[in-house]
C-alpha cells in the first residue's frame, strides 16, 4: 500500500500574540519595619540612647505610629530609603566616630534585610547624657554592652602607672 502523505498547510504563527509580559514583583515594606531594624541595630551600639517622645506626642498618640527619633522615607521608583536618626550620646564619646559607626551599621543591616539601597543615613545628636546616668553592673563580671565598654575606658584612664 502506498502511503499517502498528508499535506498540511502550516501557516507561520505570529508569536507576538503569545508573548507573555514580564512578571512584576512588588514588595511593600512599612516604615515601622525599617524603624524596628534601626532600633535593633542601635541597641547593639554602646554610648548612645534613643530620644524619647515628648508630652505632646503622647497626648496626640503620635508615638503609636512611629518610633520617636527614627524616621524612614522610601522612594518606590528607585527602590531606595532615607533614614533619619535622632539620638542622645554619652558625655566623652567621640561624636564623629559614633556617627560613622551608626551610619555604616544601619546602612548595611537595612540593605541586608530588605534589599533596599540606603541612600542616606542622617544622624542627629540631640542631647549629651551625663556619665552618672549609666547603670553599672552589680556583678563583678560586667555584661556585654555599655557597661563593659565604659568599664574598660575607666580602667585605662585611671591606673597606677605614671
Q: Where are the domains of the chain?
A: 28-129, 134-162
Task: Look at the block and give the residue holding cell 524603624.
Answer: 35
Whole-structure pTM value: 0.61
CATH class belonging to 28-129: alpha beta
**Cell numbers for 46:** 554602646
**Cell numbers for 105:** 551599621
Section 126-146 average pLDDT:
58
Does the structure show a pLDDT above 90 at 12?
no
pLDDT of residue 160: 52
CA distance 86 to 94: 16
pLDDT of residue 136: 40
Query: What pLDDT digit, counting tens, does each position of 68-127 carry?
Result: 889 999 987 888 999 999 999 999 999 999 999 999 999 999 999 998 899 999 999 999
Residues in the chain: 162
pLDDT above 90: percentage of residues in the chain: 38
Amino acid at each position: 500500500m502506498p502511503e499517502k502523505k498528508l499535506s498540511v498547510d502550516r501557516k507561520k504563527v505570529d508569536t507576538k500574540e503569545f508573548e507573555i509580559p514580564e512578571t512584576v514583583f512588588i514588595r511593600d515594606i512599612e516604615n515601622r519595619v525599617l524603624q524596628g531594624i534601626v532600633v535593633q541595630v542601635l541597641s547593639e551600639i554602646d554610648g548612645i540612647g534613643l530620644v524619647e517622645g515628648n508630652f505632646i506626642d503622647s497626648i496626640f498618640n503620635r508615638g503609636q505610629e512611629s518610633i520617636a527619633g527614627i524616621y524612614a522615607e522610601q522612594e518606590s521608583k528607585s527602590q531606595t530609603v532615607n533614614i533619619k536618626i535622632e539620638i542622645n550620646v554619652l558625655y566623652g564619646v567621640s561624636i564623629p566616630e559614633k556617627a560613622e559607626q551608626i551610619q555604616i551599621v544601619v546602612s548595611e543591616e537595612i540593605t541586608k534585610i530588605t534589599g533596599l539601597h540606603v541612600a542616606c543615613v542622617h544622624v542627629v545628636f540631640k542631647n549629651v547624657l551625663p556619665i552618672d546616668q549609666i547603670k553599672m553592673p552589680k556583678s563583678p563580671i560586667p555584661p556585654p554592652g555599655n557597661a563593659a565598654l565604659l568599664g574598660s575606658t575607666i580602667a585605662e584612664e585611671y591606673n597606677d602607672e605614671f
